[in-house]
Structure 1
Amino acid sequence: MAAPERGRLAPALALVANAFVWGISWWPFRELQSAGLHPLWATAFIYIVSLVLLSIARPHAWRGFAGQPQLWLLMLAAGMTNVGFNWAVTVGDVVRVVLLFYLMPAWSVLLAWPLLGERPTAADLLRLVLALAGVVVILHVPGTALPVPRTLPDLLALAGGFSFALTNILLRRLHVVPPETRVGAMFAGGTIAAAAAGVIGWSQGVASAPQLLPPTAIGLAVLLSLGFLAGNTCLQFGASRLPAQTTALVMLCEVLFASVSAVVLGAAELSSNVWAGGALVVAAAAWSAWDTPGSPAAAAPQSAA
């Protein structure tokens, strides 16, 4: 194997590991819910653990907040990403949720113009139409007039994908901020947003109260937290060493991992709508990744973590 290929293997495998963590994360979230812990409380717990570990490993990470008010917006966007995705994959059809979530490249086209000054090209607009067509197909219900989101998982997945796109754009705007500070902001956002949503949901009867878990469930929650922390570390390692389009394409493995695991474990139904619409959404995402400029990961998508 040539030296450049060897140099790319480890970063590529790191990105696959991150995609694997997110692709199968729906299963531990469902296990925790079956033990009595709503995904909002599970998300808050997971990110509290990650936040504590980050603070121990990088105690100076929080100094980067000085003079960077946009980090607070990053906290909100990253937090809402996790609230939307983690809740949706716990209560909805996993494949459908992941596909709707991966509408992110389409949202990026709409957000990049006002926030980054990047005017959409003709190819950008074609990808946007392709992705939206996929969503229309996925959401179509025979006998109804309009293909609109009608269930909580669909709404959460779409909102999470929009927040994911906003998170990535803010990360590009904040590229001069130390990586540990950006990661800390994202972990803090996951903690605060999930806890706040949990309290609101509890008060409205949408979310159950936090429960005292048995030791096995606590162990699973800790493992999930460590998995997210490891996945984010893998992402930072891989995305900083590979071209942006390579990173984005490898991250599409998350759709594969989620789909296979969900079908095997009976958490998804691959209807003709999902097949057809999903093909359009994934094609738009892959096209977007392929067209990304070949510089290292400044423009590459970041983990939902």
Structure 2
Amino acid sequence: MRLSSTPLAVASLLVNAFFWGISWWPFKQLQALGLHPLWATAIVYGAAFGLIVLWCAWRSVDWRAWRQQPALWALVIASGLTNVGFNWAVTVGDVVRVVLLFYLMPAWSIAVAWLLLGERPGRAALLRLLIALTGLFIVLKRPDMPWPVPESLADALALLGGLSFAITNVLLLKLRHSPESARMLAMFGGGTLMAALAAVLGLLPGVVAHGAAPTAQWLPFLGLLTGAFLLGNLALQYGAARLAAHTTALVMLSEVVFAAVSSVILGAAQWDARTGIGGALILAAALLSVLPGPHQERP
């Protein structure tokens, strides 16, 4: 790899992290206009999925991977639940708290890789898991709670999103030899399908509201999200293909910074000592999982 490509690759990853870090804002605007984040996710991902299908048809993409790689269907579910959890959580909860709980993903990856790939964790991995779970305990624990269970829907959704994201990453590793177009279709199709299914099921108990009638005010935000997620995905594909995996993961942690700064400035989050200490432990565990060891290859 040429050294000159590294800054552009890092910049591409930062673009992706920036889009995800501020995606909470258009989702909140759409909710204020009467469009639930699940319906918004289904619409945005449905539009992106349609564009990818058209691109695949134009390029005469071979569809046989879907018969040869059943794990693609698992990727549909896992990536879809990732978006259901994250997009819904950042809309109804404290953005900083949600992002911190979501970034327990490296901790969940240890257990998921053990179950799905047979990769037994070493002592360093178990130490990272312990640090991350300690941070989780501190973030969730409140003086009036006898045990730190998720105290809100946003907490539960953030944890679900992070766990699903860990499964998604393991499946992407398992499917690394499948066509890129198949993986993209699975991820955007999963976001469409699972968000729509969750929204329909949520209507029955009243967890998800029907919302207001469609309005032209939705269009700028829906268009912004669709373009941002498509561009962000392309940026991720470019950057991740040109950097070492640990470097990619490290740069992507900047999403926490983008989300925290933007949400505090715009009044969508609050810092307290408990969140700060627990969040520091969660981020420390995430950093330890992506920093290169003494024998790892550097780009």
TM-score class, shorter: over 0.9
2:211, 2:63 → 1: CA distance?
29
Q: Deviation at 1:61?
A: 6.0
Q: Cα–Cα, structure 1 residues 183 and 295, in superposed 2: closer, same or farther, change >3 Å?
A: farther
1:11 paired residue number: 9
Asked whether the 8 Å contact 1:43–1:194 carries over to 2, the reply is yes
Match of 1:171 in 2: 172
Query: Which stretch shifts more, 163-172 or 210-219?
Result: 210-219
Distance 1:91 1:109, change over 3 A: same
Compute the displacement of 1:228 (Å).
0.4
Aligned to 1:266: 267
For residue 25 of structure 2, the aligned residue among 24, 27, 34 is 27
Residue 96 (structure 2) aligns with: 95
Q: Distance in 2 between matches of 1:62 and 1:261?
A: 41
Q: Among residues 40, 64, 88, which one is paired with 2:38 in the alignment?
A: 40
Partner of 1:251: 252
TM-score normalised by structure 2 residue count: 0.95
1:212 partner amino acid: A
Structure 1 unpaired stretches of 5+? 298-305
Q: What CA deviation, in whole Å up to 9, does each residue of 1:247-292 have, x standing for no partner?
A: 0000000000000000000000101111000000001001101147
Between 1:51-60 and 1:281-290, the stretch displaced more is: 51-60
Whether the 8 Å CA contact 1:95–1:262 is kept in 2: the answer is yes
Change (3 A) 1:283 1:165: same
Tell me what 1:181 maps to. 182
Distance 2:251 2:113 in 1: 22
User: Does the aligned pair in 2 maintain the 1:240–1:296 contact within 8 Å?
Assistant: no
Report if aligned partners of 1:47, 1:188 keep a CA contact under 8 Å in 2: yes
Name 1:230's counterpart in structure 2: 231
Q: What secondary structure, in the 3-state scheme, does the structure 1 residue paired with 2:5 have?
A: helix
SS at 1:155's partner residue? helix
Distance 1:118 1:289 in 2: 17
- Deviation of 1:210 after TM superposition, in Å, equals 5.1
User: Matched residue pairs, number?
Assistant: 295
Answer whether contact 1:61 1:184 (CA < 8 A) is retained.
Answer: no
**Aligned equivalents of 1:174, 1:294: Cα separation in 2:** 23
Following TM superposition, by how much is the alpha carbon of 1:148 offset from its aligned partner in structure 2, in angstroms? Answer: 1.3
Q: Once the 2 structures are TM-superposed, how far is the Cα of residue 4 of structure 1 from its aligned partner?
A: 4.4
Is the 1:41–1:210 contact (alpha carbons within 8 Å) kept by the matching residues of 2? no
> How do 1:138-217 residues align onto structure 2 when only pairs under 5 Å count?
138-209=139-210, 211-217=212-218
* TM-fit CA distance, 1:64: 2.3
Contact 1:244–1:296 (CA under 8 A) maintained in structure 2: no
Q: Could you tell me how far 1:294 is from its partner in structure 2?
A: 4.8
Amino acid at match of 2:222: A
| CA drift at 1:214 | 2.3
Q: Which residue identity is paired with 1:112?
A: A
Q: Distance in 2 between the 1:89 and 1:34 partners?
A: 14
Q: Which range moved further: 56-65 or 138-147?
A: 56-65
Query: What CA distance in whole angstroms lies between the structure 1 residues aligned with 2:101 and 2:32?
Result: 25
Amino acid at match of 1:200: L
| Counterpart amino acid of residue 47 in structure 1 | Y
Which runs of no fewer than 5 residues in structure 2 stay unpaired? none
Shift of the 82–296 alpha-carbon distance from structure 1 to 2, 3 Å rule, reads farther
Give the TM-score of the pair, scaled to structure 1: 0.93
Percent of matched pairs sharing the same residue: 52
The separation in 2 between residues aligned to 1:176 and 1:6, in whole angstroms, is 27
**Residues 128-154 of structure 1: per-residue CA shift (max 9 Å, x gap):** 000000000000101321111121000
The CA RMSD over aligned residues, in Å, is 1.7
Q: 1:112: Cα distance to partner? A: 0.7
Go from structure 1 to structure 2 and tell me whether the alpha carbon gap of 1:180 and 1:295 turns closer, same or farther (over 3 Å shift): farther
Aligned residue identity for 1:31: Q
